[in-house]
């Protein structure tokens, strides 16, 4: 009986999806610190935006947008943010499809990633 209870518990845990946590994405990005620009571009592709801070430092940014969230969480800020003041009437037009996004930026100095930043409601 004990054996079956353990198996049942493992299966139950496997079926429950993980809640969104920015710390999980942060852990993924932390692995890029110290990597060179070519490695970053080989994995992420050419950035959508790039700014030169000085001769040796630049910021590169990647944008990801989806019509549906990658983690099936259609209300990522539920209970955290109230946006009632931002609601707009549709004036008889069909509602716009939702857009979920993530912007990820890396600071590169002397051809090495030295830091990163991200924001959005669908960073995974």
| CATH number reported for the structural domain that contains residue 102 in this entry | 3.30.1450
Distance CA 119, CA 124 (A): 11
- Over range 3-24, report the average pLDDT: 52
**120 located within any domain:** yes
Structural domain includes residue 66:
yes
**Which structural domain range is residue 106 located in?**
33-72+97-124
pLDDT at 65: 80
| pLDDT tens per residue across span 44-56 | 999 999 999 999 9
Q: Give pTM, 2 decimals.
A: 0.63
Asked if residue 112 belongs to a domain, the reply is yes
pLDDT in tens, 101-113: 889 999 999 999 9
pLDDT at 104: 95
Tell me which residue of 77, 66, 71 sits closest to 99, measured CA to CA. Answer: 66
Total structural domains within the chain: 1
In a domain, 68, yes or no: yes
90 found inside a domain: no
> What percent of the chain shows pLDDT beyond 90?
44
Residue 83 lies in a domain: no
């Amino acid at each position: 009986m004990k054996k079956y209870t353990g198996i049942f518990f493992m299966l139950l845990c496997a079926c429950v999806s993980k809640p969104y946590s920015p710390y999980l994405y942060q852990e993924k990005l932390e692995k890029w610190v110290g990597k060179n620009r070519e490695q970053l571009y080989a994995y992420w592709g050419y950035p959508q935006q790039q700014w030169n801070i000085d001769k040796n430092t630049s910021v590169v940014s990647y944008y990801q947008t989806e019509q549906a969230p990658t983690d099936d969480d259609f209300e990522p800020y539920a209970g955290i943010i109230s946006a009632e003041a931002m609601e707009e009437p549709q004036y008889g037009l069909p509602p716009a499809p939702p857009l979920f996004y993530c912007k990820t930026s890396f600071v590169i100095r002397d051809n090495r990633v030295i830091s990163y930043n991200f924001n959005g409601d669908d960073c995974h």
